[in-house]
Amino acid sequence: MRIPLSAPDLGPDDRAGLIRTFDDGWVSSAGPVVEDFEQAFAATIGLAYATATSSGTAALHLALHMLDLKPGDAVIAPTLTFIGGVAPIVHAGARPIFVDCSADDWNLDPDLLDEAFRRAAAEGLKVRAIVPADLYGQCCDIERIRRIADVQGVPVILDSAEAVGATNRGRHAGHGASAAAFSFNGNKIITTGGGGMLASDDAALIARARSLAAAARVPAVHYEHAEVGFNFRMLSLSAALGLSQLPTLDAKVARRRAIFDHYRRRLSGRPGLEFAPEAPERRHTRWLTAVVMDREITGVSVERLRLALAGADIEARPVWKPMHLQPAFSDAPVIQNGVAETLFANGLCLPSGSALTEADIDQVCDVIEATLDG
């Protein structure tokens, strides 16, 4: 049987919640269940307000749209990330400036931010925001990033799409920014099938985002619009799944961390093989367990290992390809230290879903060991 990278972990309560919502007739974005999920999620992460969206990318798009970005504006973003955290910058009318990551946490390196602002000025661009990501389930160094942003007079909008359940100094991912975008895609720790959330302590910001997500319709019997919005609201069926998944978050994070520990016990003694770090005072969810191989020591390329796993019907995926290496962003400014390119060349994400069995993990480790020993 195929071992997937990160399959949804569903149970009977999820099925019951979907059927109940279906039987109640709430299948679109209307109805009480979406608001119930928004309130429950906000309470879980400790932010005051949240609005549910069709995806994490849509949530980030709303936050950037409200900045009223114009040609000549720029937004600083990490180069090591998924394109969903970057495409909204372009869609909102700005130009991305990519910043390399820190070896300590694989997230945007605050030490490079001053240079990014200087590069923007040299190219005639005005930085309007910083959008760091919480990569693979680990919070970025939001305190340092926010201090620099405050000096520069720009907001921080967090791309926490991969970090539901992660914490930084005891606070859930998303704290410390003007707003944070989360994802509940099918491969995330908890899922709504497809969907996201924009959360903040700013009531006005979330109220406007909620309006924009619902086509910016002004309350009236007829359809009245003072501005052009989007069709970004979450469906009730998705929200029903989110409501049943949310109480299982802690257990699912604990299971992912246990899976990581299992991999580490089996493989950490291997020369040339290292695991993604967990920074001090942060709880990494290990949404995906990622390893980095030194080919000069192992004698095996990461692609050879991936193909060996694929041959055993095991799904693995390279670490994110840096945005500055993507053809779509070939002309974007980038501040580099070489970490992102090294991780892409040598990193691999292993099966990490919370429904994996011990036998599944051992099967993955068996193939890895056989490949490295071969």
264/239 same-domain check? no
Position 7 in a domain: no
Residue 1's Cβ-count burial label (10 Å; 0-12, 13-18, 19+) is exposed
- Residues 236, 336: one domain? no
φ, ψ dihedrals at 258, nearest 5°:
-65, -35
Whether residue 81 is found in the same domain as residue 182 = yes
The whole-chain average pLDDT of the chain stands at 96
* 126 & 170 share domain: yes
pLDDT-derived band at 27, boundaries 50, 70, 90: confident
Element (H, E) at 21: helix 12-24
Looking at the fold, whether 243 and 255 belong to one and the same domain comes out as no
- Determine, yes or no, domain membership for 1: no
**Looking at this protein, which amino acid is placed at residue 14?**
D
Structural domain ending residue among the three candidates 205, 228, 248 = 248
Q: Are residue 244 and residue 320 in the same domain, yes or no?
A: no
Q: Which residue has the higher pLDDT, 215 or 323?
A: 323
Domain boundary among 233, 248, 263: 248
Domain count, the chain: 2
Sheet with 334-335, strands from edge to edge, namely 126-130, 73-78, 95-99, 334-335
Contact 2/356 with Cβ under 8 angstroms?
Answer: no
Of 216, 248, 280, the domain-final residue: 248
Collapsing DSSP to helix, strand or coil, 159 comes out as strand
Full residue range of the structural domain in which residue 347 is found:
249-373
Express as a percent the part of the chain with pLDDT over 90.
93
User: Does the model's pTM come out above 0.75?
Assistant: yes
271 and 353 in a single domain? The answer is yes
2 lies in some domain? no
If one compares 26 and 311, the residue with the highest pLDDT of the two is 311
Question: Could you tell me if 309 and 356 lie in one domain?
Answer: yes
- Measured CA to CA, the distance from residue 115 to residue 100 in angstroms comes to 11
Q: Is the pLDDT of residue 332 over 80?
A: yes
Whether residue 139 contacts residue 281, with contact meaning beta carbons closer than 8 Å, is answered with: no
Instruction: Specify the DSSP class assigned to residue 276.
Output: P
The model's pLDDT over 181-202, given as tens digits with 9 standing for 90+, comes to: 999 999 999 999 999 999 999 9
Greater model confidence, 31 or 304: 304
CATH number at residue 225: 3.40.640.10
Same domain for 230 and 283, yes or no, is no
